[in-house]
Copies of this chain bind each other. A is one copy, B any other.
Amino acid sequence: MRIVLIGAGRLATNLGVALKKAGHEVACVWSRTEASASSLASILDTIWTCQLEELPTDADVYLLSVTDQALQEVIGKLPNTNSVYIHTAGSMPMQLFEGKMLHYGVFYPMQTFSKEKRVSFEQIPCFIEGSDQPTLDVIKTLANSLSRKVYELTSEQRQYLHLGSVFACNFANHCYAVAFSILKQHGIKPEVLLPLIRETADKVERIEPLKGQTGPAVRGDFNVMQHHLQLLEGQTMWQQLYNEISEDIQRMQKTEAEL
């Protein structure tokens, strides 16, 4: 397919590379700034622009990978063609395109992307939605050319999926960040945590996280929890998080036991 790539951030970069690898043509890259547009265009060996009205009008697909805030504005300025318009935002409904474009949909690859580290798309679960069957078929073909895990999902469900991904990825990563910071504050190399982090993530592939939980909260070890809160003296945000996450761990175990 001949694809116009709108955006040049982490996801757009990973996506552009994966699209080329899958044999698609990236016809043009748009970004708000020259620096990022030209940088990604040079990686993808294609042309670039910072003017939405200058985009080629003969592409098969316009693939939007911009921030959620920018999405509506960018859609409003795109050339209106008979092509398929696709956004990649987990939390945004497909209906953003409604009344503006004829054929549209969503392609949401659920992963955390870095510019530094290329992620292989093959194993990334991708969630798709289309405004009509032929459009959905185009999006499905595109998605299948990138990933082996393609699922259809409504906008309604996708917003909960996105919410879940914030807990599973961003909030889990924040727990790592707090742990790293605590160790550093006390002269311990944070890298010693890596095997624990890895095993915790591995374990969830075999045992549901609720059933596989360990540690003082699930054991009801009040003494250790009190001691940890003392160690966090002066770090009120972390004390609060410690208390509330521990409380929620106990609450969810209790709810599970009652079921």
Interface residues, chain A, with chain B CB atoms under 8 Å away? 10, 67-69, 91, 110-114, 116-117, 119, 123-125, 149, 151, 153, 157, 159-183, 185-188, 190, 192-210, 212-219, 221, 223-224, 227-228, 231-232, 237-238, 240-242, 244-245, 247-249, 251-252
With a cutoff of 8 Å between Cβ atoms, the chain B residues found around residue A205 in the complex are 194, 198
With a cutoff of 8 Å between Cβ atoms, the chain B residues found around residue A161 in the complex are 183, 186, 188, 192
Q: Which residue of B is nearest A198, CB measured?
A: B201
A207 touches B67 (CB 8 A): no
Complex A-B, nearest 6 residue pairs according to Cβ-Cβ distance, in ascending order? A170-B215, A201-B201, A168-B179, A176-B209, A164-B179, A177-B209
A91 touches B227 (CB 8 A): yes
Of residues A187, A194, A201, A228, which shows the largest number of chain B Cβ atoms within 10 Å of its Cβ?
A201
Given contact pairs A163-B231, A185-B160, A228-B91, A241 touches B237 in the complex (Cβ within 8 A): no
| CB<8 Å pairs between A and B, sample of 24 | A10-B214, A91-B216, A91-B224, A91-B227, A112-B203, A117-B206, A125-B192, A149-B195, A151-B192, A157-B188, A159-B231, A160-B182, A161-B186, A162-B228, A163-B182, A165-B196, A167-B182, A168-B193, A169-B196, A169-B197, A172-B175, A173-B214, A176-B209, A178-B248
A124 to B69, CA, bound (A): 44
A209 to B181, CA, bound (A): 10
Given contacts A157-B186, A173-B203, could you give 7 more A-B pairs where the C-beta distance is less than 8 Å?
A: A153-B188, A157-B187, A157-B188, A166-B228, A168-B179, A171-B241, A172-B200
Least CB distance from A228 to B in Å reads 5
A163 touches B228 (CB 8 A): yes
Residue from the list B10, B151, B181, B197 in contact with A172, Cβ < 8 A: B197
A168 touches B200 (CB 8 A): yes
A199 touches B168 (CB 8 A): no
